[in-house]
Structure 1
Amino acid sequence: MAGAPTVSALFAQRVVIGVGDMAVSNNDMVTLSTYALGSCVGVIAYDPVAHAGGILHLMLPDSTISPDKASKQPAMFANTGLPLLFKSLIGVRADMSRLRIFLAGGASVLNGADPFKIGARNCGAVLQYLKTAGYPIAGQDLGGNVNRTVHLKVSNGEVTMKLPDRSEQFSL
C-alpha cells in the first residue's frame, strides 16, 4: 500500500531533552533531541559499536553558585552534568574508549551585550572537562550568536544540527 508507514516508523520515538536536563539511550528506535541551544551547550556523545548515545543540555559552567540546585538538577551545570552523562552512558553499555563527542551551542545570543559571557564560559568549562578526562572531540559548532537545535539518531550516530539559516549533518 503506497504511503503506508514502515513498521520501524510506527515504533520510532523522539525523546526531547529540556534545558538543564539529559537523556541517554541504546534503543535504535530513539532519536534524542534538544532545542534552542543559545548560551547553553549541548554535549552529544555516541558509542557506534554499542549504538548508545546521550545528550546533555547544560545551562551554566559551575554548580558552586547553587549547590542545592545542583543536587536536584545536576545536568544544569557542566561540572556536575558531564560526570552524570558519562556515568549514565556506562549504564546503557557504552564503552568510554569508543565515545565520539560533538558539541554545539555556547552562543552569545544577546548581540554581544552579555556581560556575564555565559556561552563562552560554558564552552570553556566543557572543553576543559573533556580535555582533563581525556575524551576527544569529534566535532563542534560553538560560539557565534545563533541558536542551534540538535538531534541524535541512536541507531546510527547521525547528528542533525539546525541553525536559523541551514541544517548540517554529522556522523558520530
Structure 2
Amino acid sequence: MTLHIVTISDMKLSSASEDVIVTYSLGSCLGVTAHDPKAGVGGMVHCLLPHAGAAREKARANPFMFVNTGVAMMVRRLMDRGAEKRRLVFKAAGGANMRGDNLFNTGERNFEALGRLLERNSVTLAASDVGGVVPRTMFLHLDTGRVVVRSLGEEKDL
C-alpha cells in the first residue's frame, strides 16, 4: 500500500487499487474526494478557500487552493485518466467553524461553493461530514472508493 498525503491547497490522484489518499487536519478547509468505481481511479483535493474571485493569478498558480477551481481541475485530471463524470462519486469533509470564525465563516462558505459547483454541473454529493468545530482527517481507499473520516479518535464511513 502506498499512502498519498494531500497537503493544504493540494490534490492527489491514483489508479492503484492498493493506494490510500489521505488529508490531515481539515478545519475550515474542505476535503473533496471523487472516485470512479468502473475506471478504478480516484482523487482528493484539500481546498483552503471557496473561490478565487479577484485572486485569479493565485488560482492560475495553484488551482487547488480554491474549491471552485480545485474540484474542477481534479475532475478534469480524473477524466484524463479514464473516469467518466457521470460515474464519479463525490464525498466531502471539513468546512468546520474553527476558532469561532464567525466573521468570515470560511468553512460554511467552502461547502456552499462546492454545492454551487456540483449543482451547475448536475452532480450530486453522495455523502459529507462538514461543519461543527472539530478537525477531521479524511481517507480515500482506491480499491473500493470507501471514504473514512477520523475525528477526535472516532472513525466513520461516508
Q: How far is 1:82 from its partner?
A: 1.6
What TM-score does the superposition give when structure 2 sets the normalisation length?
0.95
Partner in structure 2 of residue 45 of structure 1: 34
Q: Distance in 1 between matches of 2:89 and 2:96?
A: 22
Partner in structure 1 of residue 22 of structure 2: 33
Q: How far is 1:29 from its partner?
A: 2.1
After superposing on structure 2, the runs of 4+ consecutive aligned residues of structure 1 that deviate more than 4 Å are none
> Secondary structure, in 3 states, of the residue corresponding to 2:98?
coil
Task: Output the amino acid matched with 2:156.
Answer: E
Asked if 1:96 corresponds to 2:77, the answer is no
Contact kept? 1:160, 1:167, Cα under 8 Å: yes
Asked if 1:14 corresponds to 2:16, the answer is no
Contact kept? 1:25, 1:92, Cα under 8 Å: no
Q: Distance in 1 between matches of 2:90 and 2:72?
A: 14
Asked if 1:134 corresponds to 2:122, the answer is yes
Q: Highest Rg: 1 or 2?
A: 1
Partner in structure 1 of residue 13 of structure 2: 24
> Secondary structure, in 3 states, of the residue corresponding to 2:53?
helix
Aligned residue pairs, count = 158
Q: How far is 1:165 from its partner?
A: 4.1
How do 1:139-150 residues align onto structure 2 when only pairs under 5 Å count? 139-150=127-138
Q: Distance in 2 between matches of 1:15 and 1:91?
A: 19
Unaligned 5+ segments in structure 2 are none
Task: Output the amino acid matched with 2:128.
Answer: Q
Q: Distance in 1 between matches of 2:148 and 2:43?
A: 14
Q: Distance in 2 between matches of 1:15 and 1:23?
A: 7
What TM-score does the superposition give when structure 1 sets the normalisation length?
0.88
Identity among equivalent positions (%) equals 34
Of residues 22, 43, 48, the one that matches 1:59 is: 48
